[in-house]
């Protein structure tokens, strides 16, 4: 780009205002024509920029200054003096960041056009050469949008917290979403003086290891890294198996340290207005800059309309039908905009909030927000329904939302349905007509007709909850619980605000379990089986028993393993398989059936790890690997030697060839062949182990080699009732004292380096996940799923999860009962949430399943348990939210039908465009909004507040 130097027609003196304006205009036009990814833009305070615009346009005959909108600038009103030096101090925090790797931090809530203007580098350089000042706030242009073809300025780069383990150091850095994992890795090593070959970094979202970030060419955006999340910097062990205590310090070529050498301020960053589908902030800034300077136009908002600020482009709806007004994206607020548009275009709410709803605001409700949320929503709705408006920035509403729901503050992407749920509940509490909620105890059904019990439950609910939200959106379930022990049936009737339907595209699922043998007969192997998706634990055990060739005298113990210990045992055959998540780790243990009294022996592996605290290094035994399980008869006295024998047998398949040769049991060739054969066997195939066979044969013959093995005392520690450890490597004949009520014992085996040389423990290193997600195949994407199928899956009987156990009044105990749902009372507006997102310990996953939903005549008649009404339950779709893309970087839009036009529109933040009904049918639906159809085929209308509330009777 052509470099422009300062020039003057007056012989080298100061330029006139007109000359400054023309020069900057020409530079801006050139910058706009040549803008590209990687260009640098600069933030300049709106306050100074406004003053300069007035200064250079003071002689323009067509300039009009709206004094009313400039009053907020104080001393700038009517000023035509040359501005002082640039002062960006109102954009940054007063206190300097203690972390050198963050740089100058700008306020988190800045908005383009209201607080700052983005200037191309050449414009900034010229202004800075004339006026000086600062500080300099540089940001770069990146590709943005769903197609990654739009240009945007990343005003807020990612702010990440780096946590080092095991040392415990931490640091905060700013880095672009478009930077690679390799750059983040390099910078972490640079900050903490680490050797890059001995460092790995983890996505540590929510202080849990979600994923190892090993693809160095992948961008942080593609890796779904979020603002203000943690990154775990893990220092790996060195060659001798101990933790690193001395960190390497990389140096520059001249020998000086690199720490703090890199500049964070010049990182590419995404504009708060361009994230998730907004307009290009970089091009918008250039256009605005050149247009203002060439035309001398007024840069301020119209009087009284402070929401319409400079620098924010939108779709003008002047002269169009009411209701076609967009919402500006304030930085990842598409999740909020889509939900608001659907609520705003719900006719009952549009009518209610455009009338005098203030009389129903509940100022006494401790569960509400003193009416502030309702007022903010009502004011926003009125702006969106006012005729002849351009797109509205929902700043005031977002500020109220952040105040009462801090989880939605900032500029991260959030779940639109979670916002919708909070908003509906918050509006209900703010508008609850019940000022003092009475305490009402629900009675048991006691054989009464369902209709009588349902009406009683609903009356009790209305006595405490009575608002426009209840009138329009709330319905009633019939919930039936059956005790698995005494078959006691309990029926309740509960209100609902929306239906959350699971997306079950298949009826089966694959589960991978690692199978262990406690008698030393086989090495561990992974076994993958197919089970019903809505099955029980007994289905999984049955499938595993067949796949691993379980003998008649054996049984399987199933356990979930987490952090190298047993998390839970899946002993109840009625446990739902839905409680087993795809990222869980399961192990199954073959143990002999016994009529005698037995104890379960839990064998936990430990190894030494070095820890550094307060400059002192100490070694501690910590759990590692996969725990093992066996049984031991307790009819007779159990000695320390008995436990040694059982553990020897459990570990025998892991003996190395050298150990076997020394014991004269088998030669190394047999071991290698057997080990390779087992390792190469397909999942689910039982693998015979000649080594273990030879051990058993030798033992049965009483050979000298078996005695040699038995003479090897394993370093075992038994945990007694007082949590003290008893050394089992001495006193072989000593009896173990156990409580008469004990059902299991815990034994630690401490793996020294010498012991690891005798056993091959790689089998114990890792358990596979229950299901490893891979890319969605084409078949899964093309097979549609019916909305009715989702509803049937939601209403299907299934057992409660363990945390929701039910108290059986007949058994007088908590039970994991089975639960069946039926629809009983349907609302005027039915909100259906399709559960596309699942959150687990190691990943954040989205189901891309296409759902085939009806636009006309959603018929729920057959799903309603209340048969007193003979009319059909038909619903018509009028709005829906869509979600495109992945979890963190996706984009929300809304499809809405304007009932007065009988026409569909796409609401994409500030952009509104008409669409066909066929386009609606193929949408990436996330939340669906249906309205009841009257028996004559017309869509019902909500009554005025003055007409009183209705209770949505069937």
Supply the residues annotated as catalytic.
334, 891
Residue 479, CA distances (Å) to 248, 793, 835 in order: 62, 15, 21
Q: For the chain, how big is the Rg over CA atoms in Å? A: 35
Contact 228, 410 (CB under 8 A): yes
Rounded-to-integer distance, Cα 190 and Cα 251, Å: 9
> Whole-angstrom distance between the N-terminal and C-terminal Cα of the chain?
70
Q: β-strands 844-846, 837-839: how paired?
A: antiparallel
Contact between residue 599 and residue 745 where contact means Cβ atoms under 8 Å apart: yes
DSSP 774: -
C-beta of residue 928 within 8 angstroms of C-beta of residue 804: no
Kindly provide the residue ranges of all beta strands, DSSP E only, lying in 290-365, ordered along the sequence.
none
Cα distances (Å, whole numbers) of residue 366 to 369, 432, 435, 755, 885 = 8, 11, 10, 64, 39
Residues 913 and 933: their CA atoms lie apart, in Å, by 27
Between CA 174 and CA 737 the distance in angstroms is 59
Supply φ then ψ for residue 260, to 5 degrees: 75, 10
Cα–Cα distance, 408 to 608 (Å, whole number): 44
Number of other CB atoms surrounding residue 95 within 10 Å = 7
How many C-beta atoms surround the C-beta of residue 539 within 10 A? 17
Question: How far does CA 81 lie from the centroid of its chain?
Answer: 52
Q: Could you give the C-alpha distances from 336 to 141, 226, 402, 858, in angstroms and in order?
A: 25, 18, 12, 27
Q: Which residues pair with 211 in a beta bridge?
A: 203
Query: How far apart (Å, rounded) are the C-alpha atoms in residues 599 and 894?
Result: 60
Q: Which residue, chain included where needed, has tokens 């508008």?
A: 431
Cβ-based neighbours of 729, under 8 Å, separated by 6 or more: 644, 713, 714, 715, 716
Q: How far apart are CA 419 and CA 894, in angstroms?
A: 14
Say whether 711 sits in a helix, a strand or coil: coil
* Angle (deg, nearest 10), helices 668-680 and 690-701: 130
Q: Can you read off the two tokens belonging to residue 228?
A: 């203000």
Q: Is 263 helix (H, G, I), strand (E, B) or coil?
A: coil
Alpha helices (H) in 749-810, listed in sequence order: 753-756, 778-782, 787-795
- Dihedrals phi, psi of 620, to nearest 5 degrees: -135, 150
Torsion sign (Cα): 53, 56, 59, 61:
negative
The answer to whether residues 384 and 325 touch, using CB atoms and an 8 Å cutoff, is: yes
Contact indicator for 464, 434 with CB cutoff of 8 Å: yes
- d(C-alpha 524, C-alpha 515), whole Å: 6
Q: Are the C-beta atoms of residues 342 and 880 closer than 8 Å to each other?
A: yes
CA distance 563 to 103: 38
CA angle 210, 213, 217 (to 5 degrees): 145
Q: How far is CA 815 from CA 249, 486, 805, 810, 863, in A?
A: 59, 10, 5, 11, 27
Inter-residue contact 354 to 381 (CB < 8 Å): yes
Burial (CB count <10 Å: 0-12, 13-18, 19+), residue 69: middle
């Amino acid at each position: 780009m052509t470099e422009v130097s300062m020039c003057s027609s007056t012989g080298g003196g100061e330029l006139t205002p007109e000359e400054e304006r023309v020069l900057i205009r020409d530079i801006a036009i050139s910058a706009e024509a040549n803008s590209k990814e990687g260009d640098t833009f600069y933030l300049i305070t709106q306050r100074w920029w406004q003053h300069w615009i007035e200064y250079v346009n003071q002689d323009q005959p067509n300039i009009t200054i709206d004094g009313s909108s400039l009053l907020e600038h104080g001393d700038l009103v009517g000023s035509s003096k040359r501005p002082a030096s640039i002062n960006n101090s109102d954009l940054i925090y007063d206190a300097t960041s203690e972390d050198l790797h963050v740089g100058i931090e700008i306020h988190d809530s800045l908005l383009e056009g209201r607080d700052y203007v983005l200037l191309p580098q050449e414009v900034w350089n010229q202004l800075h050469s004339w006026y000086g000042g600062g500080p300099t706030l540089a940001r770069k242009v990146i590709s943005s949008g769903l197609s990654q073809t739009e240009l945007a300025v990343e005003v807020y780069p990612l702010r990440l917290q780096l946590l080092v383990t095991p040392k415990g150091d931490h640091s905060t850095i700013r880095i672009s979403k478009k930077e690679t994992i390799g750059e983040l890795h390099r910078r972490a090593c640079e900050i903490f003086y680490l050797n890059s070959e001995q460092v790995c970094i983890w996505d540590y979202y929510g202080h849990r290891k979600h994923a190892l970030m090993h693809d160095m060419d992948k961008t942080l955006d593609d890796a779904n890294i979020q603002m203000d999340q943690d990154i775990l910097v893990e220092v790996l062990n060195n060659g001798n198996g101990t933790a690193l205590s001395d960190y390497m310090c990389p140096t520059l070529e001249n020998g000086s340290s690199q720490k703090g050498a890199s500049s964070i301020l010049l990182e590419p960053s995404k504009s708060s207005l361009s994230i998730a589908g907004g307009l290009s902030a970089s091009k918008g800034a250039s256009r605005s800059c050149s247009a203002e300077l060439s035309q001398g136009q007024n840069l301020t908002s119209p009087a009284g309309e402070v929401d319409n600020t400079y620098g924010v482009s939108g779709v003008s709806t002047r002269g169009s039908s009411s209701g076609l007004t967009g919402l500006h994206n304030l930085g990842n607020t598409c999740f909020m905009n889509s939900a608001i548009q659907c609520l705003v275009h719900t006719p009952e709410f549009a009518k209610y909030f455009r009338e005098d709803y203030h009389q129903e605001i509940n100022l006494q409700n401790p569960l509400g927000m003193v009416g502030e949320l309702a007022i903010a929503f009502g004011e926003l709705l009125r702006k969106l329904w006012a005729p002849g408006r351009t797109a509205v920035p929902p700043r005031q509403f977002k500020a109220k939302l952040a105040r009462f729901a801090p989880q939605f503050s900032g500029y991260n992407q959030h779940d639109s349905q979670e916002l919708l749920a909070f908003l509906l509940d918050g509006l209900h509490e703010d508008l609850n007509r019940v000022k003092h909620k009475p305490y009402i105890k629900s009675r048991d059904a006691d054989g009464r007709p369902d209709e009588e019990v349902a009406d009683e439950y609903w009356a009790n609910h209305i006595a405490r909850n009575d608002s426009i939200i209840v009138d329009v959106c709330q319905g009633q379930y019939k919930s039936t619980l059956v005790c698995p022990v005494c078959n006691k049936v309990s029926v309740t009737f509960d209100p609902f605000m929306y239906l959350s339907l699971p997306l079950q595209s298949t009826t089966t699922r694959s589960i991978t379990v690692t199978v262990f043998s406690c008698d030393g007969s086989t090495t561990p192997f992974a076994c993958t089986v197919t089970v019903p998706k809505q099955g029980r634990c007994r289905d999984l055990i049955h499938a595993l028993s067949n796949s691993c060739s379980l003998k008649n005298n054996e049984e399987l113990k199933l356990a979930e393993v987490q952090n190298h210990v047993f998390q839970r045992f899946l002993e109840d055959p009625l446990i739902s398989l839905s409680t087993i998540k795809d990222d869980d780790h399961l192990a199954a243990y073959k143990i002999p059936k016994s009529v005698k009294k037995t104890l379960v022996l839990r064998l936990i592996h430990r190894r030494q790890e070095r820890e550094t605290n307060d400059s002192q290094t100490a070694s501690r035994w910590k759990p590692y690997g996969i725990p093992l399980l066996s049984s031991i008869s307790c009819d007779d006295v159990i000695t320390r030697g008995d436990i040694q024998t059982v553990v020897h047998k459990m570990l025998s398949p892991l003996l190395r060839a050298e150990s076997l040769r020394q014991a004269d049991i088998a030669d190394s060739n047999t071991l290698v062949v057997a080990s390779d054969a087992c390792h190469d066997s397909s999942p689910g195939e039982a693998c015979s182990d000649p080594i273990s066979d030879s051990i058993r044969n030798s033992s049965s013959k009483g050979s000298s080699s078996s005695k040699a093995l038995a003479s090897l005392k394993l370093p075992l520690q038994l945990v007694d009732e007082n949590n003290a450890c008893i050394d089992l490597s001495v006193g072989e004949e000593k009896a173990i004292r156990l409580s008469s009520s004990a059902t299991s014992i815990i034994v630690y085996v401490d793996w020294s380096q010498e012991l690891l040389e005798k056993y091959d423990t790689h089998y114990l290193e890792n358990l596979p996940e229950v299901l490893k997600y891979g890319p969605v195949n084409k078949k899964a994407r093309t097979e549609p799923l019916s909305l009715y199928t989702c509803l049937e899956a939601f209403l299907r009987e299934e057992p409660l999860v363990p945390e929701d156990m039910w108290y059986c009044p007949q058994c007088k105990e908590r039970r994991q009962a089975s639960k069946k749902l039926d629809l009983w009372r349907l609302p005027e507006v039915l909100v259906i949430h399709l559960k596309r997102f699942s959150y687990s310990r190691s990943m954040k996953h989205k189901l891309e399943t296409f759902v085939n939903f009806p636009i006309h005549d959603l018929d729920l008649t057959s799903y309603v348990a209340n048969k007193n009404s003979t009319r059909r339950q038909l619903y018509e779709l009028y709005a829906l939210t869509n979600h495109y893309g992945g979890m963190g970087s996706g984009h929300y839009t809304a499809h809405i039908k304007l009932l007065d036009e009988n026409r569909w529109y796409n609401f994409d933040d500030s952009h509104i465009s008409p669409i066909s009904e066929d386009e609606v049918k193929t949408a990436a639906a996330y939340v669906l909004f249906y309205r009841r159809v009257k028996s004559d085929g017309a869509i019902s209308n909500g009554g005025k507040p003055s007409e009183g509330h209705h209770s949505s009777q069937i």
